[in-house]
């Protein structure tokens, strides 16, 4: 290859890397249908972690360690008006025992003094794989949203990480400061209020040039929640990837903002699959998915929702997915909100086949 040809290849590669979402060829319908057939969970098992009195639980993240299953999830309490991060254990993915707080709110005056809502990082993305957590520097990691103000997710909200030498530890050590925030100089115009749920995974192939990738949803005031990407070489310093978001959904009307959030990324048959929840561009809140070859350009599933309201415990919202496959069964954990009692926010489970 001569110098001119090499320059053309480099230029084309750069153009593709910076191309807006949807610029590359979409995933064919047959492949999308095959993914849906693989991940669908039509059988609702029911609530597995009920809301404690006066509290709400949310955002499940499930992993395996040795001979047990663990769930990291968040809990909202008012007072004091904010999130903390909790842990539960199970022997069969069905019956769960809460173990208590693993990531508390920060000290008074800290950037995360009223909000500390975490989820595990470096989960094995191989579909039907180990369902375990990987390590970096001999440590296990979680990422979390934090904020200084009391209430239900008041701005500003930023993202940071914490670590532990044991994935089921009673307490995790925080990095101390946000790694991404709405006030960063490189924050896009559509993420200048709150950065919400993040999902950090290791990409051995370095599709985006770095080993660690973070997907997260964020927004500016009175704007839609969209899904963005950041990358890192060390889990501490993060750089936003792309000029804008990689996934959003259209408003049904100009005055109705919508949500695309809580992404979880897995690898199925050589494709990247993003489970995420949608709200308000169609009725209610529900879980769906999108598929990509390069992590930047996503084809959204337009067929039946993976989870949607249908039972008393999730009649208001059925959303915020964590999906895994174990012994041939797909388990879809999600946040369920009771329509008759919206404060009754619990964690429920649906599966690919009936388990009772």
Name the pLDDT band for 25 (thresholds 50, 70, 90).
confident
Best CA proximity match to 300, nearest among 231, 240, 246, 242? 246
Output the average pLDDT for the chain. 93
Tell me the whole-structure pTM to 2 decimals. 0.93
CATH number of the domain at 40-351, please? 2.115.10.20
pLDDT, tens digit, 9 for 90 and up, residues 27-69: 999 999 999 999 999 999 999 999 999 999 999 999 999 999 9
Give the helix ranges, DSSP H, for 22-181. Answer: 29-39
The ranges assigned to domains in the chain are: 40-351
Q: Considering Cα of 183, then 186, then 192, then 195, what sign does the dihedral take?
A: negative
User: Could you tell me which residues come within 8 angstroms of residue 235 by beta carbon, excluding any fewer than 6 positions away?
Assistant: 121, 136, 137, 141, 161, 200, 212
Average pLDDT rounded to a whole number, residues 302-331: 98
pLDDT at 356: 81
């Amino acid at each position: 290859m001569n110098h001119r040809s090499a320059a053309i290849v480099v230029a084309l590669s750069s153009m593709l890397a910076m191309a807006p979402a949807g610029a590359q060829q979409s995933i064919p319908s047959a492949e999308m249908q095959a993914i849906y057939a693989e991940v669908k969970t039509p059988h609702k098992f029911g609530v597995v972690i009920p809301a404690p009195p006066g509290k709400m639980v949310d955002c499940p993240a499930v992993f395996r360690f040795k001979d047990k299953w663990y769930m990291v999830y968040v809990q909202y309490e008012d007072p004091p008006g904010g999130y903390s991060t909790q842990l539960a254990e199970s022997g069969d993915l069905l019956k769960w025992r809460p173990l208590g707080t693993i990531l508390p709110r920060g000290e008074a005056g800290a950037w995360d003094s009223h909000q500390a809502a975490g989820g595990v990082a470096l989960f094995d993305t191989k579909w039907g794989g180990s369902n375990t957590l990987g390590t970096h520097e001999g440590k296990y990691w979680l990422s979390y949203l934090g904020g200084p103000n009391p209430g239900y997710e008041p701005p500003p909200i930023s993202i940071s990480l914490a670590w532990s030498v044991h994935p089921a530890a009673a307490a995790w050590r925080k990095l101390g400061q946000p790694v991404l925030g709405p006030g960063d100089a490189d924050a896009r115009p559509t993420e200048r209020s709150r950065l919400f749920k993040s999902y950090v995974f290791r990409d051995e192939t370095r599709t985006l040039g770095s080993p660690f990738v973070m997907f997260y949803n964020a927004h500016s005031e009175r704007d839609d929640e969209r899904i963005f990407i950041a990358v890192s070489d060390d889990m501490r310093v993060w750089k936003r990837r792309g000029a804008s978001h990689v996934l959003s959904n259209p408003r049904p009307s100009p005055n109705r903002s919508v949500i695309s959030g809580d992404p979880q990324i897995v690898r199925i048959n050589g494709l990247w699959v993003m489970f995420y929840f949608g709200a308000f561009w169609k009725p209610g809140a529900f879980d769906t998915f999108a598929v990509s070859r390069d992590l930047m350009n996503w084809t959204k599933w337009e067929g039946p929702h993976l989870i949607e309201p249908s039972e008393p415990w999730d009649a208001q919202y059925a959303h915020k997915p964590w999906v895994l496959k174990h012994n041939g069964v797909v388990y879809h954990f999600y946040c369920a909100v009771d329509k008759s009692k919206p404060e009754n926010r619990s964690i429920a489970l649906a599966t690919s086949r009936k388990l009772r």
